[in-house]
Structure 1
Amino acid sequence: MLYWQALNLQVLAIMLDWLKKWYTNKFSDPQVVTLFLILVLGFLGIYWLSGMLAPVLVSIAVAYLLEWPVSKLCRMGLSRTLSTSVVVLGFMGVLTLVLMWIVPLAWYQGRNLLKDLPQMIELGRTYLLELPELLPGMVSDEQILLLMHSVEERVMAFGRQMLSMSLASLVNLVALLIYLVLVPVMVFFMLKDKAQLISGFVQFLPNERKLIGQVWHEMNVQIMNYIRGKMLEILIVGAVSYLVFYLFGLNYALLLGILVGLSVLIPYIGAAVVTLPVAVVALFQWGFTAEFGYLMLAYAIIQALDGNVLVPLLFSEVVDLNPVYIIVAVLFFGGLFGFWGVFFAIPLASLVKATAKAWSERLHPTESAA
């Protein structure tokens, strides 16, 4: 008995000694500790206060988006205040056009799509009931009926929820008006007083902040390029998809084009999910005909060009991550922060990578130089 107690104490001492050496090796540099604490406090603050800080997060994202044209106008000789005013007013004009023209049309098509859902479900039932004859012994009528009953319940519940949103929208109207007034004001001052805001924030950091500055400079450029590239990708993919759907005569072309454009917010997963409504609408409209095949082929070409041409072109300086890491980042940060976690999943994953790289270079400068 005493032997085993002595052995356990010896193992515990070895583990504590290993942990002490690991901590001393990894956290011996005060700048590393400071960077680690800032990242932890930032993540916790956003996690707990994301609801209250939602307008601030929206304003930061828009400010990053508009920083590029503001900088271009400043380099042309305009003052920072005038450049900011021109860009923000132009952005608000485009946003007003979208809210007054595109959104009502998409909403109208969405309501019509929900009204056609029962007929789509019935058509799907017809196709599925043919499976037992095509696949005897593998699929039974009972399984098909059970599946269709479950799908019908879920779809109809979703339809009722979407239709009831028109009543709840009156309550959300006040919140929307707050966003439409508060966010542009915050964006304007974030852009106009960018230097003052950054210098004010830097005052709270310790004097030794070379490592923090290295990570911040890299991530600032990446986030700016990412948001600008993501907005361009949404516009290009959405516009091309709408044009293709319109030329084919597909029902709800605008709504489906918007969904395809927004699907690029979630890498890989979004494209797979949005394929279902496109295929269902096309199947309901044409059945298993040549038009259905041609449309799905054109849709597949759009997705292939987006993933293999557009994304590398727009994000060549930003996305240097394995697809597995990107999917894990989407799931992890999306689970923590919701929509904003999904939207910033790639920059956040890049932040983790940049931090680990700077950390390693700080602790092993000789190996990094080699």
Structure 2
Amino acid sequence: MDSVFTSQKWFLLIVVAAVSFLFYLLGPILSPFLVGALLAYLTDPMADRLEEMGASRTSAVIIVFIVLGAFFSLAVLMVLPKLGQQIQLMMQQIPQVIDLFENKVFPALQTYLGTDAQIGDFSMIKTLIAGNWEETGNIMTQLAKSVTKSSLAVMGWIANLLLIPVVTFYLLRDWDVMMAKIGRLLPRNIEPKVTMLATESDEVLGAFIKGQLLVMLALGTVYAVGLWLVGVNLALLLGMLAGLASIVPYMGFIVGIVASGVAAYMQFQDPIILVWVGVVFGIGQALEGMVLTPLLVGDRIGLHPVAVIFAIMAGGQLFGFVGILIALPVAAVIMVFLRHLHDGYKRSHLYGSEKVEPPEDEPEYEQENIVNEQH
């Protein structure tokens, strides 16, 4: 029996190593497949719910595709052009922001701290920005220019864009079937354990990726609408920036309120506007804590903020854009495995001469270090 278990263990390790090596070799062409898999994973619960309501799997997938198509069409036709205009406007205002810090903020800090330390000369930065901001132009125009420089690049972009919906459709249609087939491929004696680990990994991914992405989108919308009502010209750009930064708890609030405060003050030149910016982000923070996170994420286990930052940076460093796409799913799976290894270590002879049972007032797995208590 031990020899069979050892053989299975080595077989699974070889399979994992081979798949990882293939991912490394095929990284340049995997982006559309990974994006399609991510979209299929995120929308599978919606398709399952439509099936429960009586629709066939194909009909459910078509309905999901209509919703996705409408969302992305709206983003391309309305959001991206407006975002490009605001990026251009932001580039024009950066020299003014530098002047504000150089002539007002830093001198006030020097006076308050009682020091004559020199901050430095910002003239070079202003010259570079003033000489190059016009080259940025509209984001869609610049993207088109960079792509059309090479016919091969054009073909690659078109192929990737066409592959993503095709891959998403087929993966979403056959998602449940593929998961069942993978389960049947596993050795029977370890299938329950692997299923348990996969279920816990899915809970982590569901809590963080599905839930947190919706929280980020909702917060970005709330911040953008609030800043627009206040009258800030860069409302969409600043709202999206704050929403994206919300992948780490409180970072979206900090980044958003600082950037929005600077932009609003540069536009209105009135300190009262900072109060309104604070009200917008205060409302957003209250909605996140009392409504969005409890509703969309709940009390399920999430990734620690430091683990999120490290996973994204490590994935990008090791595998580029593909690494960024798979960083959080891989980190979630690794976290689940580490938690079980930690529990096994605490119960083994390596930790002590006798097996250590967890105290009655502690959960079976020590989750206090990984539960996102901010939520």
Flag whether TM exceeds 0.5 (same fold). yes
Matched, 1:188 2:169: yes
Which one scores higher on RCO, CA 8 angstroms, separation ≥ 6? 1
Against the structure 1 CA distance between its residues 343 and 315, is the aligned structure 2 distance closer, same or farther, given a 3 Å change threshold? farther
Among 150, 154, 159, the residue aligned to 1:178: 159
Separation in 2, partners of 1:271, 1:50 = 34
Matches within 5 A, 1:2-13: none
Question: Partner amino acid for 2:175?
Answer: K
SS of equivalent residue, structure 1 residue 244: helix
- 41-50 vs 156-165, which deviates more? 156-165
Separation in 1, partners of 2:289, 2:315 = 22
Matched, 1:198 2:175: no
Among 330, 339, 354, the residue aligned to 2:336: 354
Q: Is the Cα contact below 8 Å between 1:361 and 1:368 reproduced in 2? A: no
| 1:204-240 alpha-carbon deviations (Å, 9 max, x no partner) | 6555442333222322344345333133212210111
Question: Partner amino acid for 2:317?
Answer: G
Q: Is the Cα contact below 8 Å between 1:106 and 1:255 reproduced in 2? A: yes
Separation in 2, partners of 1:63, 1:191 = 5
SS of equivalent residue, structure 1 residue 53: helix
| 1:264-318 alpha-carbon deviations (Å, 9 max, x no partner) | 2355555544444323212212336122133134324524643575335432354
Q: Which runs of 4+ in 1 moved over 6 A?
A: none
Shift of 1:54: 0.5
Against the structure 1 CA distance between its residues 305 and 348, is the aligned structure 2 distance closer, same or farther, given a 3 Å change threshold? farther
Matched, 1:51 2:28: yes
Matched, 1:77 2:57: no
Q: Is the Cα contact below 8 Å between 1:132 and 1:139 reproduced in 2? A: no
Question: Partner amino acid for 1:59?
Answer: G
Q: State the partner residue of 2:144.
A: 169
Separation in 1, partners of 2:291, 2:327 = 21
Matches within 5 A, 1:1-370: 33=10, 36-128=13-105, 130-131=107-108, 134-135=111-112, 137-140=114-117, 143-146=118-121, 148-149=122-123, 151-152=125-126, 159=133, 162-163=136-137, 166-172=141-147, 174=154, 175-198=156-179, 201=182, 205-206=186-187, 208-210=189-191, 211-267=193-249, 269=251, 271-287=253-269, 289-303=271-285, 305-306=287-288, 310-338=292-320, 341=323, 345-359=327-341
TM-score, structure 2 as length reference:
0.75
Separation in 1, partners of 2:236, 2:123 = 30
Separation in 1, partners of 2:8, 2:91 = 56
Please list every run of 5 or more consecutive structure 2 residues that lacks an aligned counterpart in the other structure.
149-153, 349-354, 360-375
- 122-131 vs 148-157, which deviates more? 148-157
Separation in 2, partners of 1:136, 1:244 = 35
Separation in 2, partners of 1:307, 1:46 = 38
Against the structure 1 CA distance between its residues 300 and 42, is the aligned structure 2 distance closer, same or farther, given a 3 Å change threshold? farther
Q: Is the Cα contact below 8 Å between 2:213 and 2:247 reproduced in 1? A: no
Separation in 1, partners of 2:339, 2:110 = 58
TM-score, structure 1 as length reference:
0.76
Separation in 2, partners of 1:171, 1:70 = 37
Shift of 1:170: 3.4
Identity score, percent:
26
Separation in 2, partners of 1:307, 1:176 = 40
Larger helix share, 1 or 2: 1
SS of equivalent residue, structure 1 residue 89: helix
Larger radius of gyration between Structure 1 and Structure 2: 1
Separation in 2, partners of 1:361, 1:37 = 25
Computed over aligned residues only, the root mean square deviation of the Cα atoms, in angstroms, reads: 3.7
Shift of 1:89: 2.0
Separation in 2, partners of 1:341, 1:309 = 32
